[in-house]
């Protein structure tokens, strides 16, 4: 009887240990990265691809050891609200997005899920982070250094357009980036002897009347970077060309679709570097401990075809320093 009792206890102990061992052998949950693109596959697709490619280089392969969920807000604020809520319901491990407007919207949806910004404007003054060195919350990533570049873009227009004394700043009125760049443009223009008119757009239907209203009132346009502008770039560039208004943009893509020039941060590089942030977060680093970085690569892109259509000529020195010349 004593032997049988020992056997019973040993068997019982084995039964008690087995489920614990089995649980210990269960595979870890595959992390999910939510890619909340602020535009469309056409406007933002290659930037998102740059983040995914960088993750692959760092050992994260979609469908193997990470799941990547793609969502496109199409430049519409209400879509960002919906998609942010969806990612919260899915309990993704990281959300990647861009633009201060999109980041702030995602922040309202969650204070727990890490958010990586592939590019944001004025993150400190907008309350997104505490400092660049110590963000302090659930957001980190890269800033666009936008205000410092506004004056440079206006200077470039001043070099190209003869006797330029009036520009219009045209953009999406609800965007923090637009408001910030309007302030920077108003600060930079007087030193160049220019006056500034501001026109804010609220929906696609505002684009045609806004540009029509500028005919004969201004000599050039400055268009701040926002997802709304990126999604509607072809329409804006075409209407501006018909109105004989040269445009300075902040993105090369907007020059390739008909704008006159752009100068600004290399967005492919920013989104690629966003992949490094995602990697570190997936490996356990908290976003509050990841310093926000600034752009390191800047591109000047000019469109000779558009310049010719407008009867303008680029200075030789500008042609020589351009990173890309579209002919």
| Residue 27, pLDDT score | 59
| Residue 238, pLDDT score | 96
Would you call 193 exposed, middle or buried from its count of C-beta atoms within 10 A (0-12, 13-18, 19+)?
A: exposed
| Residue 251, pLDDT score | 86
| Residue 148, pLDDT score | 74
Q: Please tell me the distance from the alpha carbon of residue 264 to that of residue 157, in angstroms, as a whole number.
A: 14
Torsion, Cα of 37, 41, 47, 51 (10° steps)? 70
What is the length of the chain?
A: 327
| Residue 144, pLDDT score | 86
Q: Match 């930079």 to its residue by tokens.
A: 188
Would you call 127 exposed, middle or buried from its count of C-beta atoms within 10 A (0-12, 13-18, 19+)?
A: exposed
Cβ pair 146, 122 in contact under 8 A: yes
84's CB contacts (< 8 A; 6+ apart) are 36, 95, 105, 106, 108, 109, 110
Q: In the chain, where does the domain assigned CATH 3.40.50.2300 lie?
A: 32-144+266-296, 146-265+299-326
CATH number of 32-144+266-296: 3.40.50.2300
Question: From start to end of 236-291, where are the E strands?
Answer: 247-249, 261-265
The CATH fold assigned to 146-265+299-326 is Rossmann fold (3.40.50)
For residue 275, which phi and psi values (nearest 5 degrees)? -60, -35
The C-alpha angle 61, 120, 103, rounded to 5 degrees, equals: 70
Stretches where the chain sits below pLDDT 50 are 1-24
């Amino acid at each position: 009887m004593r032997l049988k009792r020992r056997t019973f206890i040993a068997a019982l102990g084995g039964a008690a240990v087995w489920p614990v061992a089995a649980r210990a052998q269960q595979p870890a949950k595959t992390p999910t990265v939510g890619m909340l693109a602020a535009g469309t596959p056409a406007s933002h697709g290659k930037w998102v691809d740059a983040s995914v490619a960088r993750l692959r280089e760092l050992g994260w392969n979609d469908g193997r050891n990470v799941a990547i969920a793609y969502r496109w807000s199409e430049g519409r604020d209400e879509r960002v609200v919906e998609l942010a809520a969806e990612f919260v319901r899915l309990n993704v491990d990281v959300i990647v997005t861009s633009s201060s407007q999109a980041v702030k919207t995602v922040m309202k949806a969650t204070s727990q899920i890490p958010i990586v910004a592939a590019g944001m404007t004025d993150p400190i003054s907008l309350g997104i982070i505490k400092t660049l060195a110590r963000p302090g919350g659930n957001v980190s990533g890269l800033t666009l250094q936008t205000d410092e570049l506004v004056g440079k873009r206006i200077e470039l227009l001043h070099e190209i357009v003869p006797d330029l004394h009036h520009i219009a700043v045209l953009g999406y009125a609800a965007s923090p980036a637009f408001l910030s760049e309007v302030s920077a443009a108003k600060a930079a223009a007087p030193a160049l002897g220019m006056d500034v008119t501001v026109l804010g757009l609220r929906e696609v239907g505002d684009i045609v009347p806004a540009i029509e209203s500028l005919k004969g009132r201004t000599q050039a346009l400055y268009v701040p970077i926002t997802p709304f502008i990126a999604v509607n770039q072809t329409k804006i560039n075409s209407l501006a060309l018909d109105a004989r208004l040269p445009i300075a943009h902040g993105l090369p893509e907007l020059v390739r679709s008909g704008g006159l020039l752009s100068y600004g941060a290399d967005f492919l590089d920013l989104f690629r570097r966003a992949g490094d942030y995602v990697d570190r977060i997936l490996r356990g680093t908290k976003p509050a401990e990841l310093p926000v970085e600034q752009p390191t690569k800047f591109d000047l892109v000019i469109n000779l075809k558009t310049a010719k259509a407008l009867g303008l000529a680029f200075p030789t020195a500008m042609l020589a320093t351009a990173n890309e010349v579209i002919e």
